[in-house]
Amino acid sequence: MPIPGNLLTTAMAVMPHKDVDRALEVSLSLDVPFWPQLPRLSYYEDMYVQASEHFPGIVLDLEKRTLRFSMEKFIAEFEETMRHFDEPEYFDISETYSVVYHRFLQLDLSDRPAIRGQLEGPISFGMNVLDQDGRPILFDDSIRPLMLEVLAKRVNVQLNRLQKQNANAFMYIDEPGLQFLFSALSGYSDQAARRDLETFFSMVERPRGIHLCGNPDWDFLLGLDLDILSLDVYTNWEVFSSYGPSIGKFLGRGGILSWGIVPTNFEPFEKESLESLEEMLTEVWNILVNKGLDLEFLLQRSLLSPATCCLVNPDAERTVEKALAMVKDLSARLREKYKL
**Which CATH architecture fits 8-337?**
Alpha-Beta Barrel (3.20)
Q: Is 213 helix (H, G, I), strand (E, B) or coil?
A: coil
Percent of the chain with pLDDT over 90: 92
Torsion of CA 280, 24, 104, 101, to 10 degrees: 80
Q: How confident is the model at residue 130 (pLDDT cuts 50, 70, 90)?
A: very high
pLDDT exceeds cutoff 90 at 118: yes
94 and 53 in contact (C-beta within 8 Å)? yes
Query: Which class for 12: exposed (0-12), middle (13-18), buried (19 or more C-beta within 10 A)?
Result: buried
Percent of the chain with pLDDT over 70: 98
Greater model confidence, 199 or 2: 199
**Residues in Cβ contact with 105 at an 8 Å cutoff, skipping those fewer than 6 apart:** 35, 161, 162, 165
21 and 107 in contact (C-beta within 8 Å)? no
**DSSP assignment of 6-63, as one string?**
TTEE---SB---S-HHHHHHHHHTSSS-BPPB-TTT-GGGSHHHHHHTT-TTEEEETT
User: In this predicted structure, what is the pLDDT of residue 184?
Assistant: 54
Torsion of CA 9, 11, 17, 21, to 10 degrees: 50
User: In this predicted structure, what is the pLDDT of residue 182?
Assistant: 59
**DSSP assignment of 236-271, as one string?**
HHHHHTT-HHHHHHHHHTT-EEEEEEE--SHHHHHH
Query: Which class for 108: exposed (0-12), middle (13-18), buried (19 or more C-beta within 10 A)?
Result: exposed
Within 10 angstroms of residue 82's Cβ, the number of other Cβ atoms is 11
Q: Which of 174, 181, 268 is nearest to 219 (CA)?
A: 181
Alpha-carbon gap, residue 98 to 122, rounded angstroms: 20
pLDDT exceeds cutoff 70 at 27: yes
Q: What is the pLDDT of residues 241-267, one digit of tens each?
A: 999 999 999 999 999 999 999 999 999
147 and 137 in contact (C-beta within 8 Å)? yes
From residue 107, how far is each of 164, 201, 238 by CA, in Å? 11, 29, 40
User: In this predicted structure, what is the pLDDT of residue 185?
Assistant: 54
252 and 224 in contact (C-beta within 8 Å)? no
Side-chain-side CA neighbours of 60 within 13 Å: the count stands at 17
Least confident of 51-65, 206-220, 285-299: 206-220
Q: How confident is the model at residue 177 (pLDDT cuts 50, 70, 90)?
A: confident
Alpha-carbon gap, residue 117 to 34, rounded angstroms: 6
State pTM to two decimals.
0.96
pLDDT exceeds cutoff 70 at 103: yes
Within 10 angstroms of residue 167's Cβ, the number of other Cβ atoms is 11
